[in-house]
Structure 1
């Protein structure tokens, strides 16, 4: 029983084939490709047609390798979308969530509906690139695409539509838009109307695990494959990653570590009270009727941007080299608040980090090793800060933290996180999103009975690596100083 999972991240995409053999999961990467945004005329876009081309290449490569997957599923990042006209044609390349067209739009939006009311109605963390604010920004700008749009599809919905011709919106990704009523699991059309967003754009919502359709006859003929079923998996990659967490208990905490870091827990109902709003947590849809209480945080984006800038300047660092330099750098010299808005999309990340340290009265990192040590310690301390708040909001005390995603390949970050939280970190698997994607497909096909069974199978197939905390008084003192620095940064910036 093999399935084909497409896992699309903000920098790259993969096609992975999953097979179950004697109760174990075997994963084979059949295709990997870049996913680079394109800047045109001052705007930042996703090259979504190139992504669709790469998905077709993944199906072809699976065929050429002799595989015959029983189904296909796609997961990707959240909030971004494509617009279709009345003939089903795409109205331009989708905006990238880092495009500045949403700058300052939240302040104006709050004049229409207060921030507290938006959160109470949706349970979603208020961030300027959320779909609600993107659409409102387009409305304010008299967007021609929005004016002529007949349907809105989130990125994985759009790619699935290209494959099948079927227009539906999958629940976990729809929940991130800040336009969904989480209790009713339906679009909040009253709120859309108040913002002047056309309510007719929004297509029916389906649960993860829904068999949406099959490859169209045209796609099937082009690729020389059968009419393979396409399943709406947990299409938000974080929802898939949480489904792929190899937890052996229901009350667990997770850290999805990649370009973004997402830390939270899985609950039966959203938490939308005043404290969750004040701390700007989010409640996103999960698999099996669950909700993901979590906080979006900066992740390895900070490291990626430093590497990119250094490469432009002629200094090329491999990932392993930066980790070694960070290990050699002295600890507890300086920190940043990784979630400060100044780090969202700066033109020069290393200079921005230095500016933050200077403005908060700290030692200014000069070398690449010092810069990386500052970033990694800050990410670890931010995890502790958010984990403590997650425990308070959920009423649960977690014995440790499950860390999954590509960030686990940075063993220093995993160890620093264990040190910062003072609890074990169980790292793995790196491909949690793809495995969660596969798990939902297998459940839909009847190969696996429940999500708990799938997690047990993932745990047996990909045993996590445990990082025990190396705690001492220095870590506790450093954390208190980190909190003071973050507060000083809010005052200074």
Structure 2
């Protein structure tokens, strides 16, 4: 029996981990062991929110060395991270400028300016990417306008996971799934869009050749050991979708964590006017598929609430929230005020005051407001996706850390009107592993890997309950919520 040991590095906006996956090739069994977990947080530098890439690189190497210190022979390594953020390198491979984080405020007002100058419809037709204020397109526009002195120093533009691969191997690679999050890749050619680069005034030579996941990038050398570093679906959502055990052609996924990303796995893009008006994105996947999805602010609101109120016992707070009155207060989680406010509590309370609602005061009430509002937004996005695929969503697969919130899972099923299947929790790690197995010629498609995931990891079903709350009350609150996003 052949056993493969695979290191999956999974970095989120608030934490990172190095996981060891053990894969028994004959039985197609996967087990995961967490080898190293570390915090990831924003740092203020020169008045901006930035990432500490030296710290992240050191943490990754520490995790990999822990695996080797256990006398484990590693067969491959892969890295996935969040999207849209990038690094500029000079000809020596050193960073130019600061490594900005997407929550930094420097892009305020930039998206509207770019849409006016280039044309909103033109951008969407070219890229199929949803309009978010922090997309790389607008980050680069802000950089060009504010820091033109950097431009002569730059030789290469790379996304965060590609930069970390470069630090391990010395080889530059531009991985497809994360490249598409930039809103700079043409959805028809799967290559950098020259018109957008010309608009920014940036040379094509910075951007290199985009390559699909599932290939060997280079070697990581540690002492006498040399380990292949594989190009995985390096946007963590792309990896999570690969591990989502979608049950039929009309099922949808929800990658639930700091962000919630709801969408469909499709071979055709949706970049028409209807999709643009719904702000649907078409991010690149594997096997020639696209992730037709929409970003939802997600459990970031809840995480910030817990941090502000110093809550350590999360399950107890969720239980307390479930006992609060349903729909007493609602917000639009995607309102820009919730992106990175000084106080999430005050931002939620002010929103409720502005919309003449009961203002949540205690922590349980605030948590209930967040959960009710997220479930309402899930329903709204599900209806938009159903319209695009011209068929109701059959069921929703919730994957990622947020799939452990059983109260929110059930609330989602009840409000959306279809069954929810939760799991696996470690979806982004597993998708990372799945891509490495493809690079190692153990598997060939995401569909094959999803069958393995379903066999190895328990899934839990939450059934839709038609009468979970008074119908008249719900209809009234649903109409009220829909007004928030207009």
Q: TM-score, normalised by structure 2?
A: 0.96
Is the aligned partner of 1:396 residue 2:391?
Answer: yes
Tell me, in whole angstroms, the C-alpha distance in 2 between the residues paired with 1:135 and 1:386.
Answer: 29
Within 5 Å, give how 1:465-480 maps onto structure 2: 465-472=460-467, 474=469, 476-480=471-475
1:477 Cα shift?
4.0
1:65 Cα shift?
2.0
Structure 1 pair 345–98 and aligned structure 2 pair: CA distance change class (3 A) = same
Within 5 Å, give how 1:104-143 maps onto structure 2: 104-143=109-148
Is the aligned partner of 1:380 residue 2:367?
Answer: no
Q: Are the equivalent residues in 1 in contact too, given 2:309–2:363 (CA < 8 A)?
A: no
Tell me, in whole angstroms, the C-alpha distance in 1 between the residues paired with 2:476 and 2:207.
Answer: 47
For 2:47, the equivalent position in structure 1 comes to 42
Structure 1 pair 477–200 and aligned structure 2 pair: CA distance change class (3 A) = farther
1:423 Cα shift?
1.2
Tell me, in whole angstroms, the C-alpha distance in 2 between the residues paired with 1:270 and 1:344.
Answer: 28
Other structure's SS at 2:375 match: helix
Q: Are the equivalent residues in 1 in contact too, given 2:246–2:397 (CA < 8 A)?
A: yes
Tell me, in whole angstroms, the C-alpha distance in 2 between the residues paired with 1:284 and 1:88.
Answer: 28
1:483 Cα shift?
4.1
Tell me, in whole angstroms, the C-alpha distance in 1 between the residues paired with 2:189 and 2:376.
Answer: 37
What is the aligned counterpart of 1:2 among 2, 5, 10? 5
Tell me, in whole angstroms, the C-alpha distance in 1 between the residues paired with 2:82 and 2:468.
Answer: 39
Other structure's SS at 1:228 match: strand
What is the aligned counterpart of 1:184 among 179, 182, 189? 189
Tell me, in whole angstroms, the C-alpha distance in 2 between the residues paired with 1:483 and 1:80.
Answer: 35
- CA offsets, 1:282-316, max 9 Å, x none? 000001110000000111100111112223xxxx4
Q: Are the equivalent residues in 1 in contact too, given 2:126–2:188 (CA < 8 A)?
A: no
- CA offsets, 1:164-194, max 9 Å, x none? 1111210000011000012211110222102
Tell me, in whole angstroms, the C-alpha distance in 1 between the residues paired with 2:473 and 2:402.
Answer: 23
What is the aligned counterpart of 2:204 among 191, 199, 207? 199
Structure 1 pair 488–54 and aligned structure 2 pair: CA distance change class (3 A) = same
Q: Are the equivalent residues in 1 in contact too, given 2:23–2:29 (CA < 8 A)?
A: yes
Is the aligned partner of 1:31 residue 2:30?
Answer: no
- CA offsets, 1:94-114, max 9 Å, x none? 100000110111122123211
Other structure's SS at 1:439 match: helix
For 1:19, the equivalent position in structure 2 comes to 22
Within 5 Å, give how 1:203-214 maps onto structure 2: 203-214=208-219
Tell me, in whole angstroms, the C-alpha distance in 2 between the residues paired with 1:477 and 1:241.
Answer: 37
Q: Are the equivalent residues in 2 in contact too, given 1:380–1:417 (CA < 8 A)?
A: yes
Other structure's SS at 1:331 match: coil
Structure 1 pair 481–290 and aligned structure 2 pair: CA distance change class (3 A) = same
Q: Are the equivalent residues in 2 in contact too, given 1:337–1:378 (CA < 8 A)?
A: yes
Deviates more, 1:10-19 or 1:234-243: 10-19
Q: Are the equivalent residues in 2 in contact too, given 1:381–1:479 (CA < 8 A)?
A: no
For 1:240, the equivalent position in structure 2 comes to 239
Number of equivalences: 481
1:237 Cα shift?
0.3
- CA offsets, 1:195-242, max 9 Å, x none? 223322101111010211112xxxx2xx32522111110000000000
Other structure's SS at 2:424 match: coil
Structure 1 pair 443–251 and aligned structure 2 pair: CA distance change class (3 A) = farther
Q: Are the equivalent residues in 2 in contact too, given 1:360–1:488 (CA < 8 A)?
A: no
Q: Are the equivalent residues in 2 in contact too, given 1:356–1:489 (CA < 8 A)?
A: no
- CA offsets, 1:404-424, max 9 Å, x none? 010012111111111111211
Tell me, in whole angstroms, the C-alpha distance in 2 between the residues paired with 1:153 and 1:490.
Answer: 34
1:429 Cα shift?
0.6
Within 5 Å, give how 1:230-309 maps onto structure 2: 230-309=229-308
Tell me, in whole angstroms, the C-alpha distance in 2 between the residues paired with 1:454 and 1:303.
Answer: 32
What is the aligned counterpart of 1:58 among 59, 63, 84? 63
Tell me, in whole angstroms, the C-alpha distance in 1 between the residues paired with 2:407 and 2:289.
Answer: 32
Other structure's SS at 2:71 match: coil
1:475 Cα shift?
6.1
Other structure's SS at 2:461 match: strand
For 1:459, the equivalent position in structure 2 comes to 454
Structure 1 pair 470–228 and aligned structure 2 pair: CA distance change class (3 A) = same
1:460 Cα shift?
0.6
1:266 Cα shift?
0.5
Other structure's SS at 2:264 match: strand
Structure 1 pair 336–193 and aligned structure 2 pair: CA distance change class (3 A) = same
Give ranges in structure 1 of 5+ residues lacking alignment.
none
Other structure's SS at 2:122 match: helix
What is the aligned counterpart of 2:163 among 158, 161, 166? 158
1:339 Cα shift?
0.6
For 1:433, the equivalent position in structure 2 comes to 428
RMSD: 1.6
1:443 Cα shift?
1.2
Tell me, in whole angstroms, the C-alpha distance in 1 between the residues paired with 2:211 and 2:451.
Answer: 26
Tell me, in whole angstroms, the C-alpha distance in 2 between the residues paired with 1:479 and 1:347.
Answer: 32
Structure 1 pair 422–5 and aligned structure 2 pair: CA distance change class (3 A) = same
For 1:229, the equivalent position in structure 2 comes to 228
Q: Are the equivalent residues in 2 in contact too, given 1:83–1:146 (CA < 8 A)?
A: no
